[in-house]
Amino acid sequence: MTLDIKICGLKTDAAMAAALAGGASHVGFIFFAKSPRYVEPAEAGRLRQAATGRAKAVAVTVDADDAFLDEIVAGMQPDMLQLHGAETPARVAELKSRYGLPVMKVLSVSEAADIERIKPYIGIADRFMFDAKPPKGSQLPGGNGVAFDWRILTGLDAGLDYMLSGGLNAANVGDALRLANPPGIDISSGVESAPGVKDPALIEQFFRAVRTARDDRAA
Ligand SMILES: O=C(O)c1ccccc1NCC(=O)[C@H](O)[C@H](O)COP(=O)(O)O
């Protein structure tokens, strides 16, 4: 089975180069002003050019209005929108039709009952992401470096297209793959040396850990 890997919160050419060299299938840009990973749409548009033909460029937004989304889509030309807020199924459908782009809807989870919240989005969102709930006091809906109990994903339909996210790093990604066997994974703060500062060496180390885990499972 192929495994999609998204490196999120890219801001520099060096981090982008490391993500692509490692074999990222998706690269993410954060359009949430309070985030240390925020990039301007035009800068994301410049950075994402390196990914063309190699990885999908994902615009991560949080309950963004149409005016901001218009600016993002025009400036960055994403391949996909990641909706990381409280967007309703109707809003997801509206944005798919407005921009003609696939949408990944994020749901924050901590227990098995939270998984049920995907139901109204099935057939509307193209893909899902399960991320951990932000810790109390966090200003960020994502990028908090917090994991959830990956075993709650084992009850999902085998064909559901999703990414497992939240608190991944080189040390724990093998366990996540073994426990949940997800079709995709996503990482941000686990490959940073400080909030918002991606470390190419940590990115390389993460890809190495993924490869080792997959080789071990194949053996
Ligand atoms: O990363 C952010 O700063 C962020 C801010 C606002 C909304 C979403 C954000 N990140 C989205 C992602 O896809 C992250 O990769 C995901 O939450 C996992 O982050 P981490 O736990 O740090 O690996």
pLDDT tens sequence across 133-166: 999 999 999 999 999 999 999 989 989 999 999 9
| pTM, 2 dp | 0.97
Question: 167: Cβ below 6 Å to ligand 1?
Answer: yes
**Average pLDDT of the residues in 53-68:** 98
Q: What pLDDT is attached to residue 185?
A: 98
Give the ligand 1 atom nearest the CA of 38: 3
Question: 152: Cβ below 6 Å to ligand 1?
Answer: no
Q: What pLDDT is attached to residue 49?
A: 98
- Cα–Cα distance between 69 and 182 in angstroms, integer? 29
When pLDDT is cut at 50, 70 and 90, the band that residue 194 belongs to is very high
Q: What pLDDT is attached to residue 216?
A: 81
Q: What pLDDT is attached to residue 183?
A: 97
Angle (CA) 124 34 11, round 5°:
80
Choose which residue among 32, 60, 108, 139 to substitute to test ligand 1 binding: the one with the highest number of ligand atoms within 8 A of its C-beta.
60
Counting beta carbons within 10 angstroms of the beta carbon of residue 126, is it exposed (0 to 12), middle (13 to 18) or buried (19 or more)?
A: middle
ipTM for the whole complex: 0.98
Half-sphere exposure of 122 (CA within 13 A, CB side): 10
Q: What pLDDT is attached to residue 155?
A: 87
Q: What is the chain's mean pLDDT, rounded?
A: 97
- Distance from residue 132's CA to the centre of ligand 1 (Å): 10
Tokens of 5: 């890997």
